[in-house]
Structure 1
Amino acid sequence: MGAPAELNTITTQVPSRLDRLPWSRFHWRVVLGLGGVWILDGLEVTMVGNVASRLTEEGSGIELTAAEIGIAAAVYITGACLGALFFGQLTDRFGRKKLFILTLVVYLTATVATAFAFAPWYFYLARFFTGAGIGGEYAAINSAIDELIPARVRGRVDLIINGSYWLGAAGGAAGALVLLNTSIFPADIGWRIAFGLGAVFGLVVLVVRRKVPESPRWLFIHGHEEEAERIVDGIEREVERETSQPLEDAEGSITVRQRKTISFREIAKVAFTLYPRRAILCLALFVGQAFIYNAFTFNLGTILSTFFGVASGVVPVFFIVWALSNFAGPLVLGRLFDTIGRKPMISFAYIGSGAIAAMLAWLFVVEAGGAWMFIAVLAVCFFLASSGASAAYLTVSEIFPMETRAMAIAFFYAVGTAIGGITGPLLFGQLIDSGQRGLVATGFLIGAGVMAVAGVVELVLGVKAEGKDLESLAEPLTTTDEQPTPESAADPDRQAREARIAARAERQRAGQSRSRRYRPGPAPGWAAAWREPPSPGAPETALDHEIESIARAVSEHEPITLRELHRVVGARYWGPGEFRKALREALAENRIARQHRGVMVLPEREQASR
């Protein structure tokens, strides 16, 4: 990208080529190189919660009050919001890779500075710039991940990556058990080393991240289509060597008018004029998760110390339990966001966690069960909430046009977190300082309410994004009106494929209609007036390719066992559950037949054997 880009109108297959790739080492490299930032964020944010009670003790070298801990949390979140806005617009302008390197450097510098804090004002300043680096990471990383991960697994991968935040939280808490042990480290030294650990891990992530390429989708939009093609060519060659099989031909292209920059005015117009319902949805999701998460993350240590008498050196044990429950949520439930769907799972996560948070408020007031009962219920609450929170980032990164993706993530993160993420820690810090359980329980109920409201908004305004390519969910702003003549018009094979896909979709709709006929509750479509019309998208051809592969393999090898069929078509690269789904559709369409248990043949052979 050294030479100035010449801006033209181009037609490219880069998006469809990336979406049809099987899972490979390349995708693992993306996950490790880019997803590592969430481990860093978890380590960084919960570090304050882990050492909060130590920072309030005499002899810590800084001696903050519980209210000042809340202020430090709010300052960190303010830095993250402003950093997301500042670096987010640079990400859309200068590229994903340049910014996810720069923001990591900002984080590393600021977190090392935190370790040398000697006064509240210095601590606040270091926390502000640490937050700015992390906030910038959110925009750059979520954009790059969703633009490099295939559509069919984008939901579960995105959720697990965002959920890896809690691995960092658990690691930070485990490290704090040692670092806060005054028999090993003095009271004014251990917490400083804790912040230094984040910088060490950040350097490791920086080394891995250098091997992650720039987003090809960003490149072809900004006049670097040749580099985009070169990167995708390299990825395809790597995948073919790994799988020892040629890749299927990509289907579908997009014609765009390349642009250097897109103004803030146009970005705002896209979000609030072209997609107003999506803007309301994203704001609700971010406000809900930001309030409840930042309130507990930054104040859990002081809650345990103040109301349950937990010693500061033991607080990290409770953090580990809580953090692991948060990671388990996206890990266990993530695949359901791609199978059951975004809307039902996101609403379930938000409303369910809100209901449990209300129960937690009651347990807290009546003082039932002690600290471990409190943590157990909190863990169940955040098992659900963590999936919803991760899905908030996924939602924003999916449903806005490619050219504004990073800025959209930055904007909704900043606004939602400014409303929920700053008020949450400040409110809880003051409520905890009061020493009254009833007031703190009121904070729990407020958190439950904002989560429940966000879940209802998802039910009404949510977008069914599972399995769809990004360009069909939100057409790029640079797409021209002069689309090429569909190849299917002159290609009988393509026409036949499109007819099969249409018939399959109709059969699935009929099946869903029958299954809903006697289902209680409001009639289908009751909320149609409030929902955004579905975005028109290209036909989903991945399943058809898999059915074709199965039919061809049975034709060449019949009779063939299911185990051998799975091996011949390379189904282990298709993703969880994809082989069973394609096999079921192939049988339903009479492309193949089951001769007897576990053996597949062509339909005519099955008829002849009768």
Structure 2
Amino acid sequence: MTTEWLGTVRTDIPARLDRMPWAGFHWKVVLGLGTVWILDGLEVTIVGAVASRMTERGSGIAVNTADIGTAAAIYVAGACIGALLFGQLTDRLGRKKMFMVTLGLYMVATVATAFAVQPWHLFLMRFLTGMGIGGEYAAINSAIDELIPARNRGQVDLAINGSYWVGATIGSVAALALLSPLFSPSLGWRLAFAIGGVIGFAIMVTRRHLPESPRWLFIHGHAEEAERIVNRIEAEVRAETGQELPPPGSAITVRQRKAIPFREITRVAMERYPRRMILGLALFVGQAFLYNAVTFDLGTLLNGFFGVTSGNVPYFMAVFALGNFLGPLVMGRWFDTVGRIPMIAGTYLVSAALTALIAVLLMNKALTTGSFMTLIALTFFVASAGASSAYLTVSEVFPMETRALAIALFFAIGTAIGGVTGPALFGQFIHSGNVSLVAIGFFIGAAAMAIGGIAELLFGVRAEQQSLENIARPLTAEEEEMEPAERESLLRAEHEHGLSMESRREAAERRERARLRSKRRRTLESAGARRFRPGPGTRLYSPGAIGTSGTASRHAAIAEEALDREIDEVAHALEHHGPADRDTLAERVHGRTWGPGRFRAALRQAVREGRAQESSPGRYNQPEK
């Protein structure tokens, strides 16, 4: 099969979507689509937490620790196949069709797991559950990036990616309650699996009201339907905010297509970017082996070698989840300030060293339960940020048209090698009861992570603060030169939107101010000790973030111009209406429609630039000239 081109179209739909104020529609997108990471965190953690109870006498299912490792490997294999299958179908049939189908598959399979009485039933349902989760990644990431306004995309991605560990925490707490003496050994673990189905049903209700991605529609030859959807969203936002929408930015030219097959992605990767292909595989295999092996088998490891009862395992899983959440939160900004290569290589190599240390101490029987969990939490505090950089790297270093499917392809291959073998191998080692074999498993995990770190040092790409198009030129890039008739038509459209020469001059000045502000910020963030300051940078990473496309960097200039407009509104409100407290000022400028946290950010920046002054705590006025 070859790529089928449908023609060339020039459209302003992306600009219209990106310039919208934040409204209820966007909250529906976040709740309906972004919560998929909660499901993944819930699934991975809850299995690790209830695994030891399933192996006990009276659990109602005849499985041992080796079977638990096998079930985990089968789940990951299902996720790989689901990503490949539904990744193709998402590109061919649309985002909405697939994110409804994949969620439905997940719901049915995870609830059916609760009724398993034989190992084969458990294995089959875990495979289907994994397919649903893998398919979710392919459908959801593309839909989120295509529906959220550019100026809010970075913050929304941060919150959504971090919710993976919210799911992990829910799984740990839920398992703690369900594995208590209140429930029989054969009931508690079954209810734990049913929780995923309940959450999935609530998400399904929200998703029913979401539209197909207009970007997908016009790229795939359905421009008229895309226009109708965007018109409907705009009308809904106008009615909610009571404001007219600002004029959209410039239109773009794209070559419409039906689909790009996986073999085309592989050909592009092999011919144009062979070093990047090796890099992607090394990063994916390393993190997939270590993460899946330890996460899925941590409960049986604690139970079998440290005497932790099944009812207490969730406490330790909660500590594990907390370490994973804090790692990206603290180190996230350094990937954009210190740089990709030192941070990716560093997190991989440091986590490899810590994993090897665990192996040595295990082999010498020098670990207590407390010291073991301390080292595990520290290791994955570092590994959590590093593991996600595999997804980030692949999303950045390949052309735009192949990005989503490239992630599915590399995820499937890398995870099939590392993510399937890791849990299965660890499960067998734990079942043997031989601590030396378990130590060997940790040594293998350390080696896999070290190979990823070395590959980053040899083949890494300095992608920090670079536009995606500069890192990898799009395959379908069209020249931006317009014919005279098209330019004249565009100018007429601008005048119809009320853009006078003066307005265009103001827009040019705003772009220049935004450029200078962005330059100052980058200089400050990369200078001296500031670059090591904890907290999220322009991105936050999560092991659940399969498919993150890094579109925030592509729209950095648009976001800076939006910030400049917001600063203007704050300054003008203080000038024309006088001093006000924060809440009153937010009401005057309709700050609620800017998106979560944007009013506070604009107000802080206005104070820094001397366009507003905090006269007393929480109260602001116009500075004296």
TM (norm. structure 1) is 0.80
1 CA distance for matches of 2:455 and 2:591? 38
- Residues paired across the two proteins, number: 576
Q: Find the counterpart in structure 1 of residue 370 from structure 2.
A: 372
Tell me by how many angstroms 1:493 deviates.
5.3
1 CA distance for matches of 2:574 and 2:53? 68
2 CA distance for matches of 1:367 and 1:175? 32
1 CA distance for matches of 2:54 and 2:612? 69
AA at the equivalent of 2:325 = F
1 CA distance for matches of 2:315 and 2:615? 55
1 CA distance for matches of 2:58 and 2:557? 63
Q: Find the counterpart in structure 1 of residue 560 from structure 2.
A: 543
AA at the equivalent of 1:446 = I
Tell me by how many angstroms 1:398 deviates.
5.2
266, 288, 305: which one aligns with 2:264: 266
Please show how residues 132-151 of structure 1 align to structure 2 within 5 Å.
132-151=131-150
Listed as ranges, the gaps of 5+ residues in structure 1 are 520-535
Report the CA distance shift for 1:151/1:353 in structure 2 as closer, same or farther (over 3 A): farther
Residues 357 and 381 in structure 1, CA contact (< 8 A), matched pair in contact too: yes
Q: Find the counterpart in structure 2 of residue 177 from structure 1.
A: 176
Q: Find the counterpart in structure 2 of residue 296 from structure 1.
A: 294
Report the CA distance shift for 1:444/1:483 in structure 2 as closer, same or farther (over 3 A): farther
Q: Find the counterpart in structure 2 of residue 216 from structure 1.
A: 214
3-state SS of 2:10 partner = strand
Tell me by how many angstroms 1:349 deviates.
4.4
Report the CA distance shift for 1:457/1:585 in structure 2 as closer, same or farther (over 3 A): farther
1:103 aligns with 2:102: yes
1:579 aligns with 2:602: yes
Please show how residues 261-340 of structure 1 align to structure 2 within 5 Å.
261-330=259-328
Report the CA distance shift for 1:450/1:582 in structure 2 as closer, same or farther (over 3 A): farther
Q: Find the counterpart in structure 2 of residue 93 from structure 1.
A: 92
Report the CA distance shift for 1:12/1:100 in structure 2 as closer, same or farther (over 3 A): same
Percentage identity across aligned positions? Answer: 54
Tell me by how many angstroms 1:414 deviates.
0.5
3-state SS of 1:540 partner = helix
2 CA distance for matches of 1:580 and 1:158? 22
AA at the equivalent of 2:567 = I
1 CA distance for matches of 2:182 and 2:524? 65
Please show how residues 229-244 of structure 1 align to structure 2 within 5 Å.
229-240=227-238
Report the CA distance shift for 1:186/1:505 in structure 2 as closer, same or farther (over 3 A): closer
1 CA distance for matches of 2:448 and 2:230? 42
AA at the equivalent of 2:189 = W
Q: Find the counterpart in structure 2 of residue 252 from structure 1.
A: 250
Tell me by how many angstroms 1:309 deviates.
0.9
1:43 aligns with 2:42: yes
Name whichever of 31-40 and 298-307 sits farther off: 31-40
1:15 aligns with 2:14: yes
Q: Deviations over 1:135-169 (max 9, x none)?
A: 11121112222223344554553354234233333
Report the CA distance shift for 1:482/1:540 in structure 2 as closer, same or farther (over 3 A): closer
Q: Find the counterpart in structure 2 of residue 112 from structure 1.
A: 111
AA at the equivalent of 1:79 = G
Q: Deviations over 1:80-127 (max 9, x none)?
A: 111111111111111111111111122222223322323323322222
2 CA distance for matches of 1:179 and 1:509? 49
3-state SS of 1:11 partner = strand
Report the CA distance shift for 1:501/1:180 in structure 2 as closer, same or farther (over 3 A): closer
Residues 103 and 204 in structure 2, CA contact (< 8 A), matched pair in contact too: yes
AA at the equivalent of 1:95 = G
Report the CA distance shift for 1:375/1:230 in structure 2 as closer, same or farther (over 3 A): farther
437, 440, 443: which one aligns with 2:441: 443
2 CA distance for matches of 1:437 and 1:6? 58
1 CA distance for matches of 2:352 and 2:152? 28
1 CA distance for matches of 2:80 and 2:162? 20
Residues 325 and 383 in structure 1, CA contact (< 8 A), matched pair in contact too: yes
Please show how residues 467-486 of structure 1 align to structure 2 within 5 Å.
476-481=474-479, 483-484=481-482
Report the CA distance shift for 1:285/1:228 in structure 2 as closer, same or farther (over 3 A): farther
Please show how residues 403-422 of structure 1 align to structure 2 within 5 Å.
403-422=401-420
AA at the equivalent of 1:120 = P
Report the CA distance shift for 1:86/1:227 in structure 2 as closer, same or farther (over 3 A): same
Residues 280 and 390 in structure 2, CA contact (< 8 A), matched pair in contact too: yes
1 CA distance for matches of 2:387 and 2:466? 20
Tell me by how many angstroms 1:128 deviates.
1.6
1 CA distance for matches of 2:614 and 2:140? 49
1 CA distance for matches of 2:6 and 2:161? 35
Q: Find the counterpart in structure 1 of residue 54 from structure 2.
A: 55
Listed as ranges, the gaps of 5+ residues in structure 2 are 492-500, 533-552
Report the CA distance shift for 1:497/1:373 in structure 2 as closer, same or farther (over 3 A): same
1 CA distance for matches of 2:192 and 2:202? 17
Q: Deviations over 1:550-592 (max 9, x none)?
A: 35764675497696797465667364674278548956xxxx6
Name whichever of 80-89 and 195-204 sits farther off: 195-204
Tell me by how many angstroms 1:408 deviates.
1.8
Report the CA distance shift for 1:350/1:237 in structure 2 as closer, same or farther (over 3 A): farther
Q: Find the counterpart in structure 2 of residue 361 from structure 1.
A: 359
2 CA distance for matches of 1:25 and 1:352? 43
Q: Find the counterpart in structure 1 of residue 539 from structure 2.
A: none
Report the CA distance shift for 1:37/1:248 in structure 2 as closer, same or farther (over 3 A): same
Name whichever of 77-86 and 53-62 sits farther off: 53-62
Q: CA RMSD in A?
A: 4.1
Report the CA distance shift for 1:69/1:451 in structure 2 as closer, same or farther (over 3 A): same
Residues 330 and 386 in structure 1, CA contact (< 8 A), matched pair in contact too: yes
Tell me by how many angstroms 1:314 deviates.
2.0
AA at the equivalent of 2:288 = A
Report the CA distance shift for 1:62/1:16 in structure 2 as closer, same or farther (over 3 A): same
Report the CA distance shift for 1:81/1:537 in structure 2 as closer, same or farther (over 3 A): closer
Name whichever of 490-499 and 396-405 sits farther off: 490-499
3-state SS of 2:557 partner = coil
Q: Find the counterpart in structure 2 of residue 202 from structure 1.
A: 200
Report the CA distance shift for 1:168/1:492 in structure 2 as closer, same or farther (over 3 A): closer
Tell me by how many angstroms 1:264 deviates.
3.3
Residues 282 and 412 in structure 1, CA contact (< 8 A), matched pair in contact too: yes
Report the CA distance shift for 1:595/1:288 in structure 2 as closer, same or farther (over 3 A): closer
Tell me by how many angstroms 1:503 deviates.
5.9
AA at the equivalent of 2:223 = E
Q: Find the counterpart in structure 2 of residue 525 from structure 1.
A: none
